Amino acid sequence: MAKPHVRNQPNRADLRDSLATLATERVSERHPDLDLLSTAELVGAMNEEDAVVATAVALASPAIAAAIDGIVGRMSTGGRLIYVGAGTAGRMGVIDASEAPPTFGTHPAQVLGVIAGGPFAIQAAVENAEDDDIAGASDLRMLGVSAADAVIGISASGRTPYVLGAIEYASSVGAFTAGISCNSQSDLSQAGDVAIDVVVGPEILTGSTRLKAGTAQKMVLNMLSTITMVRLGKTYLNLMVDMKATNEKLRARAERTVMLATHADAVDAARVLNAVDGSVKAAILVLLTDLEPPTAIQVLAAHSGFLREAIGAAPACGRTLHGC
């Protein structure tokens, strides 16, 4: 196997010393004798450590909001949201991307997770893959990343070569870029258009960034994808109205969502969903406005899928339970 290209690779001693400067690599002073604690004490200690994550994410809120606006700007004109990471960070991106189609009705190619080492690395460690910055750039080039897209790099350390290579390539072609790191002023923080620094501090198990850092990454990704989809009209009230009913649970949820939005009974919700080929948005529009199913679908399309706007444009909206 060819040795991966590594950017400006320091010798091992220098790398070891540089790791000591990272907040995510420091030794926690709160629980130095982890191996002496009882099971109950260990559970309490980990819960205590995890409690700091939400506060750290809150401190990054302005940057998270800026990243969302950048993503919405690209996706609203047909661009894609692409997450890039290695190891745990890469898996977090893949998880978030894979949930977008069933939750928000997106095409599978609209939100993507790219992980160093490829699909095999989702289930098994491919440790050397993260060191190859050229592979990061190459993987995005293969996806045809352009100025139309938004690319989010994820790296607890903020220095993963694969992620840096990907972000630098994305920036070079004009894509919107942001980096999620758990160390401030990292290389990743400085490489993208927006730096999302969620500094959670040392891990209870030194250097194990699948813990607090991984939790922080998941929380930020939840915000990026969910709020982006809210801004793109994928929700109505606080309901998932663009979901894809691809199994019995989701079909039941689709019916329940229609019932919650319109106060229709289960029979009417199921009947109208069937008439609009399962579109939750169209079913709600029909029940709230008395539009015929084909007309409701046309009105939705005319308003780019924004259900509230479609309701407001329908003549019967003044009679609806929720109004316009």
Catalytic residues: 99, 130
Query: Which residues touch 44 (CB under 8 Å, ≥6 apart)?
Result: none
Angle CA 255–260–263, to nearest 5: 100
Helix ranges (H only) for the chain are 12-19, 39-50, 53-59, 61-75, 87-104, 133-142, 161-172, 187-191, 212-231, 248-262, 266-275, 280-289, 293-302, 307-313
Q: Which of 56, 108, 39 is nearest to 214 (CA)?
A: 56
DSSP state, 145? Answer: -
Query: Which residues touch 72 (CB under 8 Å, ≥6 apart)?
Result: 228, 231, 232
Residue in this structure with the two tokens 């609806």, named with its chain if needed: 320
* CA–CA separation, 163 and 70 (whole Å): 19
The secondary structure element, H or E, covering residue 240 is strand 239-240
